Amino acid sequence: MKATNGFCGAIGNTPLIRLDSLSDTTGCEILGKAEFLNPGGSVKDRAALGMVEDAERRGLLKPGGTIVEGTAGNTGIGLTLVGNAKGYRTIIVIPNDQSPEKLELLRAIGAEVRPVPPAPYKEPHNYNKIAARIADEMENAFWANQFDNTANAQIHYATTGPEIWEQTDGKISAFVAAVGTGGTLAGVSRFLKDQSESVATYCADPYGAAMWSWFKYGHFDFDDGDSVAEGIGQGRVTENVESARVDDAFRVSDRQMMATLNILLKDEGLLLGPSAGVNVCGALKVALAGGPGQTIVTILCDGAQRYSSRLFNQEWLAENDLSPENLSLEELLIHLKDDQNEPSEK
Ligand code: PMP
């Protein structure tokens, strides 16, 4: 029998997709890890399973228990489905500016959803702090704490990294990913560096986040601008980011991200969400910086359906100055070559 062991057994072992037009045009192998094909629809299924099984091993989550988490959506979806499969209840605290599809989906799959106004991390009403308090006040409840729970990066070290290494026959020369919690970038970069120090590792960062500033300059001074990309954009060194091994970083604007998403759809047949657009645009920047001959891997985090009320809505796109320009890949590459990513002074 080749059946998987339930929902949890179907997480991971995702295909590595050669992005044909991007590879042929740049002279690099540009490869996307198809995390949108996880059974819960995103890269966060791995983190959800990793954190739940770690909590079970450490006796923090017992039969009939409740998983509580502050999440921008995908971790909540992963935790709820893993919880359903393993017999746990789930409470999800989510900023109320996230896409309505994600809130509806969370409710539909059985999570108790508590939307809260967005608040910075340092505020007591930040969604993570609220989740921590709810778990603290309940019997047999576990706060997953995805940002600072290193079981998150660990599952990527144990699964995503080795899968990429095997799927490229150890020929990977560069890895690039954006940071939400930092679990993916930390776990994969550490695993790849442990196999070969010569694998270059990069962070692709949206504007309004501070990871580009942190990895490039070691400070948080350059966090200007803003981004509509959900699930990424970090302003502090989380416990997961702490263990990342990153050589350099690129910033990706929302217009560059949208142009990349359009090309992925039109040229590759892949209908992907914003963070995948940031990641693939980051891979194009790595291709331009290092030139032809590289084997570059990035993460296709989730699909566009999760954002349809925004990405497929001309009014919303216009309001956010993101109306499609329909750039060809060649035009996008010329634009990216001219974009020097210089820090803008505060
Ligand atoms: N893309 C999406 C759509 C996400 O939900 C997340 C997780 N917040 C990420 C990327 C970033 O992954 P990580 O938390 O491992 O940094």
CB atoms within 10 A of CB 167: 17
| Whether residue 234 sits in one domain with residue 85 | no
pLDDT attached to residue 346: 40
Q: Is the pLDDT of residue 342 over 70?
A: no
Range of the structural domain that residue 167 is part of: 6-38+157-337
Q: How confident is the model over 220-267, as pLDDT tens digits?
A: 999 999 999 999 999 999 999 999 999 999 999 999 999 999 999 999
Do both 97 and 170 map to the same domain? no
* E strand or H helix at 31: strand 29-33
315 and 237, same domain (yes or no): yes
Token look-up 């996230």 returns: 98
Q: What is the DSSP string of 305-333?
A: GGGHHHHT-HHHHHHTT-------HHHHH
Residues 199 and 66 in one domain: no
CATH number, position 202: 3.40.50.1100
Q: Is 126 found in the same domain as 168? A: no
Beta-carbon contacts of 36 under 8 Å, excluding residues fewer than 6 positions away, are 42, 272, 273, 276, 300, 301, 302, 303
Residues constituting the chain: 346
Pick from 143, 167, 183: which residue ends a domain? 143
| pTM (two decimals) | 0.96
220: number of Cβ within 10 Å: 14
Ligand 1-lining residues (CB < 6 angstroms): 42-44, 72, 74, 178-185, 231-232, 273, 275, 301-302
Helical pair 329-338 and 254-268, crossing angle rounded to 10 deg: 150
Q: Do the domain assignments include residue 249?
A: yes
Q: Are residues 20 and 50 in the same domain?
A: no
Number of domains forming the structure of the chain? 2
> Residue with the nearest Cα to atom 4 of ligand 1?
231
Same domain, 83 and 164: no
pLDDT for the residue 98: 86
| Residue 66 belongs to a domain | yes
* Token pair recorded at residue 184: 């993916």
Task: Look up 44 and say whether it is catalytic.
Answer: yes
Query: Is residue 345 one of the residues assigned to a domain?
Result: no
- The widest CA-to-CA distance across the chain, in whole angstroms, is 60
Which of 232, 281, 298, 307, when mutated, tests ligand 1's pocket best, judged by the most ligand atoms within 8 Å of its CB?
Answer: 232
Q: Which residues pair with 159 in a beta bridge?
A: none
pLDDT of residue 324: 84
Same domain? For 56 and 32 the reply is no
Residue-level pLDDT at 101: 87
Q: How far is CA 80 from the centre of its chain?
A: 18
* Domain shared by 56 and 110, yes or no: yes
The confidence score (pLDDT) of residue 345 equals 44
Q: Where are the beta strands (DSSP E) in 37-183?
A: 66-70, 89-95, 112-116, 141-143, 174-177
**Catalytic pick from 33, 44, 216, 285?**
44
Q: Are residues 164 and 246 in the same domain?
A: yes
Is residue 179 within 8 A of residue 153, CB to CB? The reply is no
pLDDT digits (tens, 9 = 90+) for 10-21: 999 999 999 999
Q: Are residues 73 and 119 in the same domain?
A: yes
What is the CA(233)–ligand 1 centre distance, in A?
A: 9
Ligand 1 atom with least separation from CA of 187: 15
- The reply to whether 11 and 116 lie within a common domain is no
